[in-house]
């Protein structure tokens, strides 16, 4: 208990973690800025593959900041980073593959 | 002293042979990460199904301003989600869903600030930021309830559609949407809306419950007694994941 108490008092310094808090708010502004940018794009760029590509790239950028900074994955060990990333890469492939499959179904029915 | 005694034949500790943490993360945090990966699979199954259905359906090919609701093609989402509370009849595409996105991102920030305060054993700040996070969670759920209610009840005029009823084609006016009828487009569109945003909303709700539990335990001094606020971090991982899923739902369901 004495040790816990010591730990507690030691960390009451309000300056501790100030850098981390700065990084958190910076990430927040980046996320807000990207979301606002997506809005602007939604109403200015004509609908098509180009617009969809921008949205997907911006979504991945946002995901990078949320997972990397908020979930702290950027600062974990390499083994943990890859254990999370590799399955997700396969999932991204699955999404793409089944979109193409959906398009093939469309061609077969309406093409 | 006992720890330093080496028995004959004892092996040097090796990375993957037990006794050390190869990923430098506690058991609980690792298990949360692997649970989140499995949850990713569940959500991607829903998004994969959505992508397949959408691409196998005709898209609206006319000019954007000429768009009208029909069950013959997939709707343009920004024409479906254009209502905002207290502004009845005003067309504000995607504004409300944008506000919801902002609320969730802001609650993610307060969550990570609670985690940071936990690292410093700063109980007062953990409590403060957990309360903000809980408030953000409830606000998001309230917004979603309003959006569902609007989606289910539909617009004032409804949409005249040709649908099959008891084996014959009939023309009728449809108001709003449920799992079999949808005034905004094909019924599958409404089904995906209910399942994807509903499954996400359930996650938000569970997250709020967990956050309340964490707040309660922090406020009653449980983590001070334990000497560690790591539980805040674990539940924080879950809360950020919920935010992350919403980022993807926002893009693939509302923007694209």
Count Cα atoms within 13 angstroms, Cβ side, for A44: 7
User: What percent of chain A clears pLDDT 90, i.e. is strictly above it?
Assistant: 66
ipTM of the complex: 0.85
Q: What's chain B's average pLDDT? A: 91
Cβ atoms of B42 and A90 within 8 Å: the answer is: no
Half-sphere exposure of B97 (CA within 13 A, CB side): 27
Subunit contact B251:A63, Cβ cutoff 8 A: no
Max avg pLDDT among B61-70, B74-83, B130-139: B130-139
pLDDT tens digits, one per residue of A21-62: 999 999 999 999 999 999 888 888 887 888 889 999 999 999
The predicted-structure confidence for B120-171, as pLDDT tens digits, reads as follows 999 999 999 999 999 999 999 999 999 999 999 998 888 999 888 889 999 9
Residue A95 touches chain B, beta carbons under 8 Å? yes
> How far is residue B174's CA from residue B62's CA, in Å, rounded to a whole number?
23
Closest CA to B139 of B172, B98, B166, B104: B104
For chain B, domains (ranges, CATH) are: 27-255 (1.20.120.80)
- Shortest alpha-carbon distance between residue A23 and chain B (Å): 11
Judged by CB atoms within 8 Å, which residues 164-223 of B form the interface with A? none
β-strand pairing of B168-174 with B159-165? antiparallel
Positive or negative, the CA dihedral B140, B146, B147, B148 is: positive
- Cα(B237)–Cα(A67) distance, rounded to whole angstroms? 9
CA-nearest residue to A11 within chain B is B120
> Looking at beta carbons, which residues of chain B come within 8 Å of A102?
51-56
Q: Which of A16, A87, A99 sits opposite B55 (nearest CB)?
A: A99
From residue B250, alpha-carbon distances to A73, B71, B95, B99, B181 in Å are 23, 23, 12, 11, 23
**Mutant choice from B100, B103, B105 vs A, greatest count of A C-beta within 10 A:** B105
Q: What pTM was estimated for this model as a whole?
A: 0.89
List the single residue in A with minimal CA-CA distance to B106.
A28
With contact defined as beta carbons under 8 Å apart, do B194 and B144 qualify?
Answer: no
Residue A6 reports pLDDT greater than 60: no
Are B111 and A70 in contact (CB < 8 Å)? yes
Taking the Cβ of residue B40 and every Cβ of chain A, the question of whether any pair is shorter than 8 Å is answered with yes
- Cβ atoms B240, B104 nearer than 8 A: no
Interface-testing mutation among A51, A102, A107, with chain B (most B C-beta atoms within 10 A): A102
pLDDT attached to residue B6: 59
């Amino acid at each position: 208990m004495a040790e816990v108490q010591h730990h507690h008092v030691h960390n009451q310094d309000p300056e501790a973690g100030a850098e981390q808090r700065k990084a958190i708010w910076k990430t927040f502004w980046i996320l807000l800025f990207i979301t606002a940018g997506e809005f602007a794009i939604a109403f200015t760029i004509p609908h098509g593959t180009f617009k969809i590509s921008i949205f997907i790239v911006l979504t991945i950028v946002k995901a990078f900041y949320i997972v990397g900074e908020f979930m702290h994955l950027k600062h974990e060990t390499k083994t943990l980073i890859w254990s999370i990333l590799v399955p997700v890469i396969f999932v991204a492939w699955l999404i793409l593959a089944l979109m193409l499959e959906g398009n093939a179904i469309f061609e077969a029915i309406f093409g | 002293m006992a720890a330093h005694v080496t028995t004959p034949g004892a092996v040097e500790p090796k990375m993957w042979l037990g006794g050390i943490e190869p990923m430098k993360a506690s058991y609980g945090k690792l298990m949360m990460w692997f649970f989140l990966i499995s949850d990713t699979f569940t959500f991607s199954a829903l998004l994969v199904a959505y992508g397949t259905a959408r691409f196998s359906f005709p898209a609206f090919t006319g000019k954007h301003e000429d768009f009208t609701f029909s069950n013959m093609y997939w709707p343009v989402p920004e024409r479906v989600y254009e209502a905002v509370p207290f502004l009845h009849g005003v067309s504000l595409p995607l504004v409300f869903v944008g506000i919801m996105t902002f609320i969730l991102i802001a609650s993610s920030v307060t969550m990570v600030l609670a985690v940071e305060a936990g690292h410093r054993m700063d109980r007062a700040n953990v409590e403060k930021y957990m309360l903000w996070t809980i408030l953000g969670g409830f606000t998001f759920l309230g917004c979603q309830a309003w959006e569902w209610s609007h989606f289910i009840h539909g617009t004032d005029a409804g949409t005249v559609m040709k649908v099959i009823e008891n084996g014959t084609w009939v023309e009728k006016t449809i108001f709003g949407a449920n799992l079999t009828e949808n005034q905004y487009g094909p019924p599958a569109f409404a089904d995906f809306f209910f399942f994807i945003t509903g499954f996400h909303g359930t996650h938000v709700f569970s997250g709020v419950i967990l956050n309340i539990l964490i707040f309660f335990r922090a406020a009653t001094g449980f983590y001070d007694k334990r000497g560690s606020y790591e539980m805040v971090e674990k539940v924080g991982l879950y809360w950020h994941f919920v935010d992350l899923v919403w980022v993807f739902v926002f893009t693939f369901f509302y923007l694209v």
